[in-house]
Amino acid sequence: MRATTQDSVAEPVRGGLLDPAMVFRSLPAALRKLDPRTLWRNPVMFIVEVGAVWSTILAVGKPSWFGWLVVFWLWLTVLFANLAEAVAEGRGKAQADTLRKAKADTIARRLRDWSPGAPGVEEQVPASLLQQGDIVVVEAGQIIPGDGDVVEGIASVDESAITGESAPVIRESGGDRSAVTGGTIVLSDRIVVKITQKPGQSFVDRMIALVEGANRQKTPNEIALNILLAALSLIFVFAVATLQPLAIYSKADNPGVPDTVALGGDGVAGIVLVALLVCLIPTTIGALLSAIGIAGMDRLVQRNVLAMSGRAVEAAGDVNTLLLDKTGTITLGSRQAAEFIPVGGVTPEELADTAQLASLADETPEGRSVVVYAKETYGIRAREPGELTDASWVAFSATTRMSGVDIDGRRLRKGAANAVAEWVRSHGGIVPTALGRIVDGISAAGGTPLVVGRVSADADGQKAEVLGVIHLKDVVKRGMRDRFAAMRRMGIRTVMITGDNPLTAKAIADEAGVDDFLAEATPEDKLMLIKREQAGGRLVAMTGDGTNDAPALAQADVGVAMNTGTTAAKEAGNMVDLDSDPTKLIEIVEIGKQLLITRGALTTFSIANDIAKYFAIIPAMFVALFPGLDLLNVMRLHSPQSAILSAVIFNALVIAALIPLALRGVRYTPASASKLLSRNLYRYGLGGIITPFIGIKLIDLLIQLLPGMS
């Protein structure tokens, strides 16, 4: 029976940061978060909500324009804080809804008594009943019913439901590309899969839970900052609680002083004290802290990286050492023609033309690169094998270690240096002495030399000769040197891991600009290197995809497993790259640093903008008792009521204004820690002081237009 799904898989939602539709959908969640049983996890906003409830009771007891306006904006402060978290979670829920479409009530074809070579007995069961260790068979057009490893066969698999990439991938038994994911579709052939998941714990299940934020655990830094904010809030609660007794005592000593907003028995003294408390405690960062953490994980999801915990994202921001595989990460992974070196008086153009002809039927990346290099460097038109009707193509073989073509009475060959040299000698040719030096020089530099030879007939008979050498090199990806320089400015040490010999490794490392390299690396070498770095107090990040990478991925502080890798690698790492792009590790580190910088910047802004609130509220409360405090009214606010209300309104509006920044993150540019600190103190510290003075004064001017406030 073919397993089918009724829902088509769509791309994850990529809306704007404050898309009106997303905000509207998040409002019910924001209102539900007003439940004290939910809000108590955020101590700062819980205090604000308690103050809003108390102020509401006081306002009901003795209504006034001033009292109700303060109550309204206190509730908006809590609602804006909840909205920031709800919008951040809403973006994850939208992506989770897309992932759910990849799940269907699939019928699995389970095999009993299966073993290699024995077909077993097939039975049909719901995929939800599959147990760890079960064996299932999946054929073309069917959905893979659960996460597992291919134990027999090879197939093309459509993983677009998980990765968003339309190009199919190959999965086969053995090796490092045997892992398959439930919900993906087999496009061709037949495979037998051993289920590795436990019921309800498939890869898609975990993705849904993580992107929804349901399993988001607060990171150590976030917990520490929450404790600090709670302690500061508690201190201000006690400080504000003592003000009313002091005010009453001061009024008793000054019976001629008229009632003020804060000191009189007019029913709003308690509301003013709540307003003062809300403006004193760090409400801005308290409101946005959770949204910052959720948005950090969301930015990873948008880049098709699944973080198994917020701790991993935060650790990425503190990484000191990056371990990067050479092949596919730093280099393109296939050797490319980089130079034609002629010998014996042969012109470069003649060598290029011959090398291209000898490579036309070579469909390997190396062969295609020779054709392209000859065309781009020497302007030689790339001919097609079909155009040369009189050509006889010679395919590469492990015996001859050469390939080429016989055309127009010429025999053209390219291949290993020794093989081509011996071929030229066997046809009566002489090999130039310079050839050995050229070949050895290329090898010493980490490249691969291919020698081009030719046998032709002229009036004097047959002529065999060596025309030159093709220099193949593992090409460093464009822009890698600049990226590593940026890592260096961030204080991150980069180490290239390769199985190449030390000479080749050094040549690539020098060209790429990495700080160090580990040549002829074994899994044990990787593990020992990570432990040495960690023993020196450094945090290490690395990527891997094979079972032999699992120990190192588990040991690393940030272990990014490739989705195309084995189940063991994905279980060992704390992140999974759905695109299986090893270079994404650099982006992950940048996202982690952006998360830390955003949290620090908004904390700085939150504390700094409290200064303006002090200048607004404290003079307004006590100027009647202590006229000298009027010197602190630097903003020259209209009245005590206007000053207090302006500060409360600004306190609420600044939270709403900063939601996009919390979700998007502070722009990160590679720089040293001291330079980043100085820049953020200047921008968010000084800006956090100046902005509220301007904002509160503008709100004060508008409040003067309200009835009863003139």
Annotated binding residues for Mg(2+): 545, 549
Residues constituting the chain = 710
Three-state DSSP at 636 gives coil
d(CA 330, CA 513): 10
d(CA 97, CA 695): 40
Binding residues, by number, are 362, 366, 396-403, 414, 545, 549
Residues 6+ apart with CB under 8 A from 345: none
Q: Which two tokens stand for residue 628?
A: 């000298």
Question: Which residue in the block uniquely carries the two structure tokens 């190449």?
Answer: 500
The pair phi, psi for residue 195, each rounded to 5°, is -70, 130
Residues 6+ apart with CB under 8 A from 65: 706, 707, 708, 709
Q: Which two tokens stand for residue 98?
A: 């897309």
d(CA 556, CA 497): 14
Q: Could you give the dihedral angle defined by the CA atoms of residues 631, 632, 636 and 640, in that order, rounded to the nearest 10 degrees?
A: -110
d(CA 561, CA 542): 9
Residues facing residue 327 across a β-bridge:
331
Three-state DSSP at 706 gives coil
Q: Are 623 and 640 in contact (CB under 8 A)?
A: yes
Three-state DSSP at 687 gives helix
DSSP 201: -
**Catalytic option among 134, 325, 557, 577:** 325
∠ CA 492-498-504, nearest 5°, is 105
d(CA 603, CA 601): 5
Q: Which two tokens stand for residue 580?
A: 């299986």
Smallest CA-to-CA distance from 89 within 7, 47, 33, 44 is with: 33
Q: Is 325 among the catalytic positions?
A: yes
**Residue 85 parent element (H or E):** helix 65-100
Question: Which residue in the block uniquely carries the two structure tokens 């002091």?
Answer: 246
Q: Which two tokens stand for residue 575?
A: 């992140």
d(CA 310, CA 62): 47
Smallest CA-to-CA distance from 411 within 429, 384, 431 is with: 429
Q: Are 3 and 145 in contact (CB under 8 A)?
A: yes
Q: Which two tokens stand for residue 197?
A: 């998941």
Q: Are 169 and 181 in contact (CB under 8 A)?
A: no
Catalytic center residues: 325
